[in-house]
């Protein structure tokens, strides 16, 4: 008998006795007034923090979340204006070299920036990426509810581009903005199921830690800066 | 209404005034109060220590004596929770289970009884002092008592109410825990006393004499000026 | 008294007297509470969300056999090697076997309580491998040769001064009082380790059955790097980590962050579905997922306490526990401390040896109230006490409770005892606090009110 069979056998044996439903314990004086019955999570959506009903509300939520998270968030009308924002970052932060991947938005940005660029698409050296000042990537979605960016290794140039360089710049189309995580995961399923990329990451703000006296420090391991440029008409 | 008072053993011997105050308040409201003398302990010490058969030795006579009462009112959220919440558990699967469930419906903690059974918050009491309220854990989390005591205190003339920080944090009494792990119990009590003292209140009020016994014990030892008093003892003052 | 019990008591004595230590913990957790309350207020209905999370986990745990098989099959279909370990020893041997097979030299690890549970670092170091913790808090406690203080905040018992001294000693860095500077010292030291590491080891927060994915939650990006750079990746997770569907994460990720750390959502929440796939530009060539039972199936067999397996290790119950706040995390002497640790450790490591953890609680219920998946924590402490006394009662305690019952059920005798108590009370007061005082555990720090001259029942009788 394999270890798998042994463990699953013990689990099956254990489950022959049934357990009370949550909230049905003795002493629970406030029985739940709602029935969830497990599925679907769209039902739970109404109880979580709201992401806003309209695009304007959602942009506002994303913006408020970004301020708190210290995400550098820009909404721009066009690629041309996005390139202006990028040029300002390049000059302001003194970028000498960047890492990026090929894609409609990133290609335009890389051309406009005119810096030496490490492309990740066909494989790359992590030691070389370590010398890049910024990583420029696309994404799959922006989540209004939480101020998050959803990336996969397909949409964002692999696993490391969005986390190894000290500054991560995300280029997004405004139509990628979704209300909340529930819609974000639904979108991921529509885009990829059943052949999902091997990494799907929900990024919320720049890397952070509170491990020293619960004091917030940015850039613990991942990027110290996260810039999100949301382009209305790319 | 005929109200059966349950006076726990330590209230009987150490805090008789709590019981006396309850009798006076309930009689003033025009109810008949009875107090079975042979009911002295709910069995919680043995129950909480895990000795359930021994707890049943104490609880079964209580159950038999009280099960036909119209309403049972208890001076302590903790003993109240024992009868109301834990008796059905203690007797689960035994012949007394039905009686325990029936009794559960008749049992009230004192402030809960006044506010939610009788619908009274103004007892015409007068108590000119600054007070803060400690939520006993069993009353708060097993019985869901939170606003009742505050609504009662709000109506007391001359009384100034002030919330302390972390009023819902355990004082550290915990029954036999207080004797088995005195250092932890004491540390928790110190935190509570510090929070209560910081309000500048003259009194810590609670609906549980056991918490107050613990806190008063610490305060007296620290020779603090802050005193403890049971909610019934405040509400009885005219 | 078992050794674990006496160690607990002596540590509890030490920490409860250490006002600086207690102050540090209380301050840190007060900050957490403020943040948590603010984040909770953004929920449209926190209580309903809790119930939904509890029911989802109930579904996962009560159909664990089906979901586990689905999870493993999906993972394997995309090239992941799935290993099953019934015991801690098996898990250690599986992982050591992989490392030895790769002739690896250095290992980078991101935070995993399951690895602490099986003492993985010890085993790897004994086998001659260098293993570096990459989570900042874990890195700090590793340099101190200490276990994590808290399952989410491993170094919460240390001040910046303590950490600066540690870094000066261990890394030769300059002294600094700035948390930012200290973080950057660690970042620089660890970057090099990442680029050199042959193996990356991670834990997991959730295992999504529907898609065969492991979800890892972190703030720093260290797990992201651990899963990106080394050629071989190993993930160790308990079998209870299952969630049925990917969309369930939309509920669980915010709740985990809010309940555990007072955040809307943690900075990185990443799902991994396999090693580097065809057409992908990076990621490990091999990924091994080790599923650990280690007596979880025994806990599963107890329907009364099965919900303890719903735990998502958020740490909320530790944060609100007044016992934890006053004795600290190391006092427990367990991998999982606080209320959840006191509930599950007796199951995982032996009831009689660890029942004192269930005893050292006032049963206040703050943990149960805080739990985002509604585990009936404080009642389970009561259940452990009951199970312990049924399995192996203390003769003295049982006799005491029987004697008490005998007394209290005989009104005449009880009255006599009360009278004796009143008469003897002044005598006891004369010896109060000495070894002769029968209630010294109480009176050592607390006064006891005098026995009233007229008890309530005497008053009642006299009045009639």
Over residues A123-139, the pLDDT tens digits come to 999 999 999 999 999 99
Structure-block tokens of residue C260 = 């555990």
- Neighbouring CB atoms inside 10 A of B238's CB total 11
User: For chain A, where are the alpha helices, taking DSSP H only?
Assistant: 3-14, 42-45, 55-69, 79-93, 104-113, 126-129, 181-192
Determine the residue among B47, B92, B137, B142 to mutate to test chain A binding: the one whose Cβ has the most chain A Cβ atoms within 10 Å.
B142
Paired sense of beta strands A141-143 and A117-119, if any: unpaired
Structure-block tokens of residue A119 = 């492309």
Confidence of residue A25 (pLDDT cuts 50, 70, 90): low
3-class DSSP state for residue C349?
Answer: helix
Is 80 exceeded by the pLDDT of residue B209? yes
Task: Tell the burial category of C184 from Cβ atoms under 10 Å away from its Cβ (0-12, 13-18, 19+).
Answer: middle
pLDDT value, residue C414 = 87
Is 60 exceeded by the pLDDT of residue A38? no
Asked if C446 lies within 8 A of B12 by C-beta distance, the reply is no
CB contacts, 8 Å: A27 with chain B: 81, 85-86, 89, 142
Is 80 exceeded by the pLDDT of residue B12? yes
- Cα distance from N-terminal residue to C-terminal residue, chain C: 51
CA atoms of C390 and B55, how far apart (whole Å): 13
Distance from CA of C5 to the nearest CA of A (A): 30
CB contacts, 8 Å: A30 with chain B: 144
Tokens 């810039």, located at residue: A227
Asked if B85 lies within 8 A of A30 by C-beta distance, the reply is no
Nearest CB neighbour to A26, from listed B89, B143, B144: B89
Is 80 exceeded by the pLDDT of residue A28? no
The arithmetic mean of pLDDT across residues A172-183, rounded, is 97
CA atoms of A60 and A184, how far apart (whole Å): 17
Q: Which residue of A has its CA nearest to C181?
A: A217
Nearest CB neighbour to A198, from listed C53, C136, C280: C280
Distance from CA of A5 to the nearest CA of B (A): 36
CB contacts, 8 Å: B7 with chain C: 456-457
Contacts of B among chains (3+ CB pairs under 8 A): A, C
| Mean pLDDT lowest among A16-30, A84-98, A116-130 | A16-30
| Mean pLDDT lowest among A32-41, B181-190, C353-362, C387-396 | A32-41
Identify the contact set of chain B against chain A, taking CB-CB distances under 8 A: 81, 85-86, 88-89, 142-144
Q: Which residue of C has its CA nearest to A210?
A: C153
Asked if A220 lies within 8 A of C219 by C-beta distance, the reply is yes
CA atoms of C153 and B105, how far apart (whole Å): 44
Q: How far from the centroid of its chain's Cα atoms is residue C249's Cα?
A: 21
Low-confidence ranges of chain C (pLDDT < 50): none
CB contacts, 8 Å: C326 with chain B: 184, 187-188, 191
| CB contact at 8 A, B105 and B96 | no
Asked if B86 lies within 8 A of A27 by C-beta distance, the reply is yes
The arithmetic mean of pLDDT across residues A36-49, rounded, is 71
pLDDT value, residue A36 = 52
Which of these, B15, B20, B11, lies nearest to B41 by C-alpha position?
B11
Asked if C250 lies within 8 A of A184 by C-beta distance, the reply is yes
Is 50 exceeded by the pLDDT of residue A30? no
Q: Which residue of C has its CA nearest to B165?
A: C30
Is 60 exceeded by the pLDDT of residue A26? no
CB contacts, 8 Å: A164 with chain C: 225, 228
Contacts of A among chains (3+ CB pairs under 8 A): B, C
Is 50 exceeded by the pLDDT of residue A67? yes
Cβ within 8 Å of residue B190, ≥6 positions away: B218
Distance from CA of B85 to the nearest CA of A (A): 5
Q: Residue A74: beta bridge partners?
A: A229
Residues 15-44 of A with CB under 8 A from B: 26-27, 29-30
Nearest CB neighbour to B174, from listed C362, C418, C460: C362
CB contacts, 8 Å: C220 with chain A: 207-209, 220-222
Query: Could you tell me what percent of chain B has a pLDDT over 70?
Result: 100
pLDDT value, residue A10 = 98
CA atoms of C14 and C12, how far apart (whole Å): 5
Query: Please, what's the b/e burial string for B96-127 (b: 16 or more CB within 10 A of its CB; e: otherwise)?
Result: beebbeebeebbbbbbbbbbeeeeebebebeb
The arithmetic mean of pLDDT across residues B6-20, rounded, is 94
Asked if A146 lies within 8 A of C156 by C-beta distance, the reply is no
């Amino acid at each position: 008998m394999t270890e798998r069979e042994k463990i699953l056998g013990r689990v099956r044996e254990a489950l022959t006795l049934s357990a009370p439903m949550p909230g049905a314990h003795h002493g629970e004086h406030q029985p739940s007034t709602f029935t969830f019955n497990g599925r679907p999570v769209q039902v739970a959506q109404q109880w979580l923090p709201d992401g806003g009903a309209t695009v304007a509300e959602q942009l506002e939520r994303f913006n408020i979340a970004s301020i708190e998270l210290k995400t550098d968030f820009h909404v721009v009308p066009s690629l041309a204006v996005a390139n202006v924002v990028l040029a300002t970052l390049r000059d302001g932060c003194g970028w000498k070299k960047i890492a990026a991947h090929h894609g409609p938005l990133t290609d335009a940005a890389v051309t406009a920036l005119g810096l030496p660029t490490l492309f990740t698409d066909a494989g790359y050296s992590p030691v070389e990426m370590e010398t890049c000042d910024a990583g420029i990537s696309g994404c799959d979605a922006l989540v209004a509810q939480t101020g998050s960016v959803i990336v996969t290794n397909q949409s964002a140039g692999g696993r490391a581009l969005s986390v190894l360089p000290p500054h991560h710049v995300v280029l997004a189309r405004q139509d990628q903005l979704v209300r909340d995580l529930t819609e974000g995961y639904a979108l991921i399923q529509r885009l990829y199921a059943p052949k999902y990329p091997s990494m799907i990451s929900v990024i919320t703000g720049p890397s952070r830690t509170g491990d020293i006296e619960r004091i917030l420090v940015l850039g613990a391991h991942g990027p110290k800066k996260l810039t999100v440029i949301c382009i209305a008409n790319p | 209404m005929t109200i059966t008072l349950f006076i726990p053993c330590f209230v009987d011997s150490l805090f008789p005034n709590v019981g006396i105050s309850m009798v006076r308040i309930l009689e003033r409201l025009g109810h008949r109060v009875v107090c079975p003398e042979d009911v002295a302990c709910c069995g919680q010490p043995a129950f909480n220590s895990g000795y359930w058969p021994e707890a049943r030795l104490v609880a079964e006579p209580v159950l038999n004596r009280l099960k036909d009462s119209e309403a049972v009112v208890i001076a302590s959220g903790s003993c109240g929770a024992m009868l109301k919440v834990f008796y059905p558990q203690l007797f689960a699967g035994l012949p007394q289970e039905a009686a325990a469930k029936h009794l559960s419906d008749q049992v009230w903690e004192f402030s809960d009884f006044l506010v939610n059974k009788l619908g009274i918050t103004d007892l015409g009491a007068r108590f000119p002092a600054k007070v803060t309220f400690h939520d006993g854990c069993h009353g708060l989390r097993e019985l869901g008592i939170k606003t009742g005591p505050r609504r009662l205190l709000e109506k007391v003339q001359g009384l100034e109410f002030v919330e302390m920080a972390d009023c819902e944090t355990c004082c550290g009494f915990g029954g036999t825990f207080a004797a088995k792990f005195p250092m932890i119990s004491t540390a928790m009590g110190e935190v509570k006393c510090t929070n209560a003292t910081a309000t500048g209140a003259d009194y810590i009020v609670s609906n549980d004499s056991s918490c107050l016994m613990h806190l008063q014990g610490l305060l007296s030892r620290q020779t603090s000026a802050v005193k403890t008093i049971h909610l019934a003892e405040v509400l009885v003052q005219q | 008294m078992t050794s674990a019990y006496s160690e607990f008591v002596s540590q509890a004595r030490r920490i409860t007297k250490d006002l600086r230590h207690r102050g540090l913990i209380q301050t840190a957790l007060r900050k957490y509470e403020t943040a948590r309350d603010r984040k909770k207020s953004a929920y449209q209905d926190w209580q309903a969300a809790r119930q939904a999370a509890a029911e989802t986990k109930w579904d996962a745990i009560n159909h664990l056999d089906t979901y586990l098989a689905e999870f493993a099959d999906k993972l394997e279909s995309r090239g992941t090697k799935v290993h099953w370990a019934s015991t801690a020893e098996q898990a250690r041997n599986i992982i050591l076997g992989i490392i030895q097979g790769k002739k690896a030299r250095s290992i980078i690890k991101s935070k995993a309580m399951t690895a602490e549970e099986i003492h993985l670092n010890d085993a790897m170091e004994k086998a001659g491998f260098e293993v570096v913790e990459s989570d900042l808090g874990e890195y700090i406690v590793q340099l101190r040769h200490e276990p994590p203080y808290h399952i989410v905040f491993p170094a919460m018992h240390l001040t910046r001064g303590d950490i600066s001294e540690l870094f000066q000693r261990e890394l030769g860095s300059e002294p600094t009082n700035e948390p930012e500077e200290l973080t950057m010292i660690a970042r620089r030291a660890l970057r090099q380790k990442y680029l050199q590491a042959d193996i990356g080891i991670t834990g997991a927060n959730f295992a999504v059955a529907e898609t065969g994915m492991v979800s890892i939650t972190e703030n720093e990006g260290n797990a992201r790097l651990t899963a990106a750079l080394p050629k071989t990746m190993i993930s160790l997770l308990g079998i209870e980590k299952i969630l049925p569907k990917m969309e369930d994460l939309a509920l669980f990720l915010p709740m985990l962050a809010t309940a555990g750390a007072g955040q809307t959502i943690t900075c990185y929440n990443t799902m991994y579905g396999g090693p580097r796939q065809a057409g992908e530009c990076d990621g490990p060539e091999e990924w091994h997922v080790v599923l650990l039972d280690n007596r979880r199936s025994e806990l599963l067999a107890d329907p009364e306490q099965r919900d303890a397996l719903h735990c998502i290790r958020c740490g909320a119950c530790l944060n609100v526990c007044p016992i934890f706040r006053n004795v600290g995390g190391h006092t427990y002497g367990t991998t999982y401390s606080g209320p959840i640790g006191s509930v599950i450790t007796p199951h995982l490591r032996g009831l009689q040896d660890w029942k004192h953890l269930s005893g050292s609680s006032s049963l206040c219920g703050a943990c149960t109230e805080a739990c985002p998946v509604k585990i009936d924590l404080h009642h389970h402490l009561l259940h452990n006490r009951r199970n312990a006394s049924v399995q192996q009662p203390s003769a003295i305690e049982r006799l005491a409770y029987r004697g008490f019952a005998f007394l209290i059920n005989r009104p005449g005798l009880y009255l006599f005892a009360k009278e004796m108590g009143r008469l003897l009370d002044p005598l006891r007061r004369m010896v109060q606090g000495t070894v002769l005082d029968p209630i010294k555990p109480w009176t050592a720090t607390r006064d006891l009110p005098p026995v009233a001259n007229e008890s309530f029942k005497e008053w009642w009788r006299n009045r009639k």
